[in-house]
């Protein structure tokens, strides 16, 4: 069943490096894009003011171009967050952010109803409604970039879990005695396959003198990251190739666990690391087939994300339309329309 989206929205994506905003019309077109550096070192109040400023600038641009006005604002932000109360809790990539009531600040500044949603829930909505997971009932979105995150659609609706916190696929254990994760846990897939983890392991290889080609490239002044490790591997550096192979095997193991647990028809993998390393898909497909329950893997496809960086803007179109009903906020939160993110953790 299609859920028609009728009203234009103002979408804001709060990221660790950039704040992006645009007007999204019901035909899914992205208008009047703007982006400014987040600069979290300026402090929470300044960054929150910056969000309202960039959103207001997009609204002004849209008005001067004769575009229809937005009826509401959606903010996509990194978790953990309290989506229903509109509070950004304690995201690792926004320094100094702790329990920031972002909706309470942006809503009056814009004079428009405003909602907050976790970036990965926004991304899975975009890929499910408009992208690589279109038309299925069960899908998982995995982003492999600086960290690893995800969002889940099950039985044709988002899986939100208690307090709306479900979907942290990056923190599934794939190695009992593995490395310590950024979250403090042990052996999480993010601690093995994220950009941060690959960088950490590459620096360890350099310290131990185990990767001559990587050392040569690093000595030329290139920054030590996943891209450099891939260049070294392509030039025959065995330790670099093994490092990447292990990371992609971890992603494939994650996919096998997701298949065993949720039986998705599609696992969409996006994020900067996935986008720039096609070998991730090859290895992840092979390992999912090896490691999932017999008969389970053939029912699941691993697909690259289709919508790129715009997932976090476009996904807000259905979410804002569905979460901000035309009734009062209280009435809206008591409805339970199918296949929406309108329903979150009920605290009543
Ligand atoms: Zn973790």
Q: How far is the CA of 166 from the centre of ligand 1 (A)?
A: 14
- Count CB-CB contacts under 10 A for residue 295: 7
Q: How far is the CA of 173 from the centre of ligand 1 (A)?
A: 8
Contact 100/45 with Cβ under 8 angstroms?
no
Q: How far is the CA of 167 from the centre of ligand 1 (A)?
A: 13
Provide the residue-wise pLDDT of the chain in tens; the chain has 348 residues.
Answer: 456 678 999 999 999 899 999 999 999 999 999 999 999 999 999 999 999 999 999 999 999 999 999 999 999 999 889 999 999 999 888 999 999 999 999 999 999 999 999 999 999 999 999 999 999 999 999 999 999 999 999 999 999 998 888 999 999 999 999 999 998 999 999 999 999 999 999 999 999 999 999 999 999 999 999 999 999 999 999 999 999 999 999 999 999 999 999 999 999 999 999 999 999 999 999 999 999 999 999 999 999 999 988 999 999 999 999 999 754 444 344 444 444 454 443 333
- Tell me the C-alpha distance between 156 and 191, whole Å: 31
Q: What digits encode the pLDDT tens for the residues 85-144?
A: 999 999 888 999 999 999 999 999 999 999 999 999 999 999 999 999 999 999 999 999
Q: How far is the CA of 259 from the centre of ligand 1 (A)?
A: 20
Q: Cα 163 vs. chain centroid, distance in angstroms?
A: 18
Q: How far is the CA of 270 from the centre of ligand 1 (A)?
A: 19
Q: How far is the CA of 179 from the centre of ligand 1 (A)?
A: 10
Cβ burial, residue 236 (10 Å; 0-12/13-18/19+): exposed
- Count CB-CB contacts under 10 A for residue 297: 21
Q: How far is the CA of 148 from the centre of ligand 1 (A)?
A: 9
Q: How far is the CA of 162 from the centre of ligand 1 (A)?
A: 19
Q: Which of 216, 93, 76 is nearest to 147 (CA)?
A: 93
Q: How far is the CA of 185 from the centre of ligand 1 (A)?
A: 5
pLDDT of residue 1: 45
Q: How far is the CA of 285 from the centre of ligand 1 (A)?
A: 23
pLDDT of residue 3: 63
Q: How far is the CA of 3 from the centre of ligand 1 (A)?
A: 35
- Tell me the C-alpha distance between 273 and 279, whole Å: 11
Q: How far is the CA of 171 from the centre of ligand 1 (A)?
A: 4
3-state SS, residue 153? strand
Query: Distance between the two ends of the chain, CA-based, in angstroms?
Result: 30
Q: What digits encode the pLDDT tens for the residues 333-346?
A: 444 444 445 444 33
The total number of residues written for the chain in this structure:
348
Q: How far is the CA of 168 from the centre of ligand 1 (A)?
A: 9
The dihedrals phi and psi of 142, each to the nearest 5 degrees, come to -125, 125
Q: How far is the CA of 1 from the centre of ligand 1 (A)?
A: 36
Q: How far is the CA of 260 from the centre of ligand 1 (A)?
A: 20
Mean pLDDT of the chain: 92
Structure tokens at 89: 């809790």
- Tell me the C-alpha distance between 287 and 282, whole Å: 9
Q: What is the pTM of this model?
A: 0.89
Q: How far is the CA of 233 from the centre of ligand 1 (A)?
A: 27
Q: How far is the CA of 64 from the centre of ligand 1 (A)?
A: 46
Bridge partners, 114 (sequence order)? 73
- Count CB-CB contacts under 10 A for residue 209: 9
Q: How distant, in Å, are the alpha carbons of 10, 12, 57, 225, 341 from that of 64?
A: 15, 19, 11, 43, 32
The C-alpha angle with vertex 224 and arms to 218 and 229, in degrees rounded to 5, equals 90
Q: How far is the CA of 174 from the centre of ligand 1 (A)?
A: 11
Structure tokens at 92: 């690792």
pLDDT of residue 203: 97
> What ranges make up the beta strands (E) of the chain?
9-14, 18-24, 30-37, 73-77, 81-82, 87-88, 114-118, 139-144, 148-154, 157-158, 266-270, 301-304
């Amino acid at each position: 069943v299609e859920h028609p989206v009728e009203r234009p929205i103002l979408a804001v994506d709060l990221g660790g490096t950039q704040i992006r905003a645009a007007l999204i019309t019901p035909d899914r077109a992205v208008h009047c894009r703007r982006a400014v550096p987040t600069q979290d070192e300026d402090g929470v109040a300044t960054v929150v003011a910056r969000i309202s400023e960039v959103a207001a600038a997009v609204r002004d641009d849209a008005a001067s171009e004769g575009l229809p006005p937005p009826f509401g604002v959606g903010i996509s932000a990194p978790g953990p967050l309290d989506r229903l109360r509109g509070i950004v809790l304690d995201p690792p990539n926004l320094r100094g952010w702790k329990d920031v009531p972002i909706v309470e600040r942006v809503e009056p500044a814009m004079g428009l109803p405003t909602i907050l949603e976790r970036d990965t829930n926004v991304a899975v909505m975009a890929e499910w409604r408009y992208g690589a997971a279109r038309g299925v009932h069960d899908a998982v979105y995995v982003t492999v970039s600086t960290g690893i995150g995800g969002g889940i659609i099950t039985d044709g609706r988002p899986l939100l879990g208690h307090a709306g916190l479900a979907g942290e696929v990056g923190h599934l254990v794939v190695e009992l005695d593995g490395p310590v994760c950024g979250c403090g846990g042990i052996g999480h897939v993010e601690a093995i396959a994220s950009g941060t983890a690959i960088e950490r392991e590459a620096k360890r290889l350099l310290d131990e003198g185990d990767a001559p080609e990587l050392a040569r490239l690093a000595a030329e002044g290139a920054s030590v990251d996943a891209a450099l490790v891939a260049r070294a591997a392509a030039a025959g550096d065995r330790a670099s190739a093994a490092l990447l192979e292990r990371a992609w095997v971890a992603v494939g193991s994650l996919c096998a666990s997701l298949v065993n647990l949720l039986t998705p028809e599609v696992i969409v993998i996006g994020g900067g690391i996935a986008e720039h390393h096609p070998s991730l898909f090859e290895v992840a497909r092979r390992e999912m087939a090896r490691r999932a329950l017999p008969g389970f893997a053939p029912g699941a496809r691993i697909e690259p994300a289709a919508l790129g960086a715009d997932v976090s803007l476009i996904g807000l179109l259905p979410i804002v339309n569905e979460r901000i009903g035309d009734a009062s906020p209280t009435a809206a939160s008591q409805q339970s329309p199918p296949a929406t993110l309108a329903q979150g953790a009920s605290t009543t």
